[in-house]
Amino acid sequence: MKDNKFVFFLLIPSFFFIVFFYLYPTLYNLYNSFTDLNLFKLRKGGNWIGFENYIDLFVDPEFVRVFFNTTIWLTLVGVVVRIILGLLLAFIINSETLRKYKLTGLFQVSLIIPWATPSIVAVVVWRMILDPQVGFINQTLVKYGIITEPIAFLSNTSFVWPSIITIITWNTLPLVTLTFLASLKSVPAELLDAATVDGANKLQRAFYVILPHMIPSIIVMILMSTFWTFNNFAYVWLATGAGPGTFTNVMATEVYLKAFVDGRMGYSSALGIVMASIMTVFGIIYLRMIVKRNLKEIF
């Protein structure tokens, strides 16, 4: 009994931390979403308006664009690109050729560099690389006659989303790759040997033996990447400022713009609650998968 009291005593700081830094702000934000709170009229406070902010949100044409940009471009395309490239890189790093020349370790260490780079630094560096005047890519393309005029990668609507996805992929791909590499190394050698004896070539072993074994890791990485990407603010805002115009505006940047530019704190809170609700669904799915996976390992 004394041990239980001592454990409870140790948990008190964490409990207060969760209440004051997570629970209270969430409940306060939820309350504000039902008011007309305005940043420029904070002294007056917000009047209770019920679900008006949520109704305005779902009938707002800009929200449709923002939701599309967030779910399709930022999340779906971005996550699919990372998963595919992560799998390819994991197979390459684990290939017999690199192991033969003892280059696997070098490639693994080199992956740490972009992963360890803060997102702000990554965006600033890539802005310089993609710059139409002094950027390395434009200078190279013009020098070799591939293009005649520099391309404004971050302000041209034809190139801006691929450019943003490139920045995010460069910064976050290493974690995906290393996760898949660990899963790849955990494939039992007996399964691969049995497949080889049965006449399976490298491609068949990859598709029918290795990939099925990696499916749990792939699903977990899809959910985690979705979770990290969906509510991301830094990459889009630092790269384009949600521009050109509002072409790359996503839900996270829309929350900022509505709250601190338009001053519509209540509306911004409603949008934040919608985002949090969507992420909660992904979080529940992720936790259920982790619990099921752990239970299988135990039993």
What are the pLDDT digits (tens) for 9-33? 777 888 788 777 888 888 999 999 9
Asked if the structure places residue 74 within a domain, the reply is yes
State mean pLDDT over 122-141: 96
Asked if the structure places residue 90 within a domain, the reply is yes
Asked if the structure places residue 30 within a domain, the reply is no
Does residue 225 register a pLDDT over 70? yes
State mean pLDDT over 250-274: 96
* CB 153 within 8 Å of CB 132: yes
Number of domains within the chain: 1
Half-sphere exposure of 126 (CA within 13 A, CB side): 26
Percent of the chain with pLDDT over 70: 96
Residue with more model confidence, 210 or 2: 210
Does residue 44 register a pLDDT over 70? yes
Q: What is the pLDDT of residue 152?
A: 96
DSSP result, 66-99: HHHIIIIIIIIIHHHHHHHHHHHHHHHHTSHHHH
Asked if the structure places residue 97 within a domain, the reply is yes
Write out the H or E segment, with its range, that includes residue 54.
Answer: helix 52-59
pLDDT tens for residues 58-67? Answer: 999 999 999 9
The pTM of this model reads 0.89
Could you give the CA distance from residue 153 to residue 20 in angstroms, rounded to a whole number?
42
Q: Which two tokens stand for residue 128?
A: 């310089």
Torsion of CA 203, 205, 206, 210, to 10 degrees: 180
Instruction: Find the domain containing 74 and state its range.
Output: 55-298
Could you give the CA distance from residue 27 to residue 285 in angstroms, rounded to a whole number?
23
DSSP result, 201-234: -HHHHIIIIIHHHHHHHHHHHHHHHHHHHHT--H
Query: What separation in angstroms does the CA of 236 have from each of 123, 145, 169, 249, 257?
Result: 9, 30, 13, 8, 13
State mean pLDDT over 60-89: 95
Angle at 149 between CA 119 and CA 77, to 5 degrees: 40
Task: List CB contacts of 286: < 8 A, sequence separation 6 or more.
Answer: 220, 223, 224, 227
Asked if the structure places residue 47 within a domain, the reply is no
Asked if the structure places residue 243 within a domain, the reply is yes
Q: What is the pLDDT of residue 24?
A: 87
For position 235, which CATH number holds? Answer: 1.10.3720.10
Asked if the structure places residue 34 within a domain, the reply is no
